[in-house]
Protein backbone atom coordinates (compact mmCIF):
# COMPACT_ATOMS: atom_id res chain seq x y z
CA UNK A 1 0.00 0.00 0.00
CA UNK A 2 2.81 2.44 0.85
CA UNK A 3 4.42 1.95 -2.57
CA UNK A 4 1.10 2.69 -4.24
CA UNK A 5 1.07 6.00 -2.36
CA UNK A 6 4.57 6.76 -3.64
CA UNK A 7 3.55 6.00 -7.22
CA UNK A 8 0.46 8.22 -6.91
CA UNK A 9 2.59 10.97 -5.34
CA UNK A 10 5.06 10.69 -8.24
CA UNK A 11 2.28 11.07 -10.78
CA UNK A 12 1.02 14.12 -8.90
CA UNK A 13 4.58 15.47 -8.98
CA UNK A 14 4.43 15.28 -12.76
CA UNK A 15 1.18 17.23 -12.56
CA UNK A 16 2.66 19.96 -10.40
CA UNK A 17 5.75 20.33 -12.59
CA UNK A 18 3.68 20.64 -15.76
CA UNK A 19 1.25 23.04 -14.06
CA UNK A 20 4.18 25.13 -12.87
CA UNK A 21 5.33 25.57 -16.47
CA UNK A 22 1.81 26.33 -17.67
CA UNK A 23 1.35 28.93 -14.92
CA UNK A 24 3.98 31.16 -16.57
CA UNK A 25 5.47 32.31 -13.28
CA UNK A 26 2.18 32.13 -11.40
CA UNK A 27 0.57 34.68 -13.75
CA UNK A 28 -2.18 32.32 -14.97
CA UNK A 29 -4.68 31.48 -12.24
CA UNK A 30 -5.95 28.01 -13.24
CA UNK A 31 -2.53 26.41 -13.79
CA UNK A 32 -1.36 28.08 -10.56
CA UNK A 33 -4.27 26.56 -8.64
CA UNK A 34 -3.60 23.18 -10.29
CA UNK A 35 0.07 23.47 -9.28
CA UNK A 36 -0.87 24.09 -5.64
CA UNK A 37 -3.34 21.19 -5.55
CA UNK A 38 -0.97 18.76 -7.25
CA UNK A 39 1.91 19.82 -4.98
CA UNK A 40 -0.13 19.46 -1.79
CA UNK A 41 -1.44 16.08 -2.91
CA UNK A 42 2.00 14.86 -3.91
CA UNK A 43 3.73 15.90 -0.71
CA UNK A 44 0.82 14.65 1.37
CA UNK A 45 0.88 11.17 -0.16
CA UNK A 46 4.68 11.01 0.07
CA UNK A 47 4.45 11.98 3.73
CA UNK A 48 2.01 9.15 4.41
CA UNK A 49 4.17 6.64 2.53
CA UNK A 50 7.30 7.64 4.45
CA UNK A 51 5.68 6.43 7.67
CA UNK A 52 6.30 2.88 6.41
CA UNK A 53 9.15 3.13 3.88
CA UNK A 54 12.85 3.96 3.95
CA UNK A 55 13.33 7.55 2.83
CA UNK A 56 16.06 6.91 0.21
CA UNK A 57 14.28 4.44 -2.06
CA UNK A 58 10.87 6.08 -1.59
CA UNK A 59 12.22 9.53 -2.43
CA UNK A 60 14.11 8.15 -5.42
CA UNK A 61 10.97 6.49 -6.79
CA UNK A 62 8.95 9.67 -6.20
CA UNK A 63 11.44 11.93 -7.94
CA UNK A 64 12.12 9.37 -10.68
CA UNK A 65 8.44 9.11 -11.57
CA UNK A 66 8.14 12.88 -11.45
CA UNK A 67 11.23 13.52 -13.56
CA UNK A 68 10.55 10.83 -16.14
CA UNK A 69 6.84 11.62 -16.27
CA UNK A 70 7.45 15.33 -16.71
CA UNK A 71 10.04 14.79 -19.43
CA UNK A 72 7.79 12.38 -21.30
CA UNK A 73 4.76 14.66 -20.94
CA UNK A 74 6.80 17.58 -22.24
CA UNK A 75 7.95 15.64 -25.29
CA UNK A 76 4.49 14.27 -26.09
CA UNK A 77 2.26 17.26 -25.31
CA UNK A 78 4.35 20.42 -24.95
CA UNK A 79 6.64 20.21 -27.96
CA UNK A 80 9.84 19.57 -26.02
CA UNK A 81 12.70 18.32 -28.14
CA UNK A 82 12.85 14.54 -28.51
CA UNK A 83 16.31 13.03 -28.85
CA UNK A 84 17.90 9.65 -28.47
CA UNK A 85 20.06 10.93 -25.62
CA UNK A 86 17.00 12.25 -23.77
CA UNK A 87 15.17 8.93 -24.13
CA UNK A 88 18.24 6.95 -23.02
CA UNK A 89 18.65 9.28 -20.04
CA UNK A 90 15.03 8.86 -18.98
CA UNK A 91 15.49 5.10 -19.25
CA UNK A 92 18.60 5.29 -17.06
CA UNK A 93 16.71 7.29 -14.43
CA UNK A 94 13.99 4.64 -14.34
CA UNK A 95 16.52 1.78 -14.19
CA UNK A 96 18.40 3.53 -11.39
CA UNK A 97 15.26 4.09 -9.36
CA UNK A 98 14.15 0.48 -9.76
CA UNK A 99 17.63 -0.70 -8.78
CA UNK A 100 17.63 1.47 -5.67
CA UNK A 101 14.18 0.25 -4.71
CA UNK A 102 15.26 -3.38 -5.12
CA UNK A 103 18.42 -2.83 -3.11
CA UNK A 104 16.84 -3.53 0.23
CA UNK A 105 14.11 -1.10 1.10
CA UNK A 106 11.50 -1.83 3.73
CA UNK A 107 8.52 -3.89 2.57
Burial class (CB in 10 A: 0-12, 13-18, 19+), 19: buried
What does the alpha-carbon distance between residue 53 and residue 3 come to, in Å, rounded to a whole number? 8
4-61: pLDDT as tens digits: 999 999 999 999 999 999 999 999 999 999 999 999 999 999 999 999 999 988 999 9
55-99: pLDDT as tens digits: 988 999 999 999 999 999 999 999 999 999 999 999 999 998 888
Amino acid sequence: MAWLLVVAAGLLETGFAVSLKLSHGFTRPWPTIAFALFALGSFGLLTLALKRLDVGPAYAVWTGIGAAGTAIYGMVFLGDVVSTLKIVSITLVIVGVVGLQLSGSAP
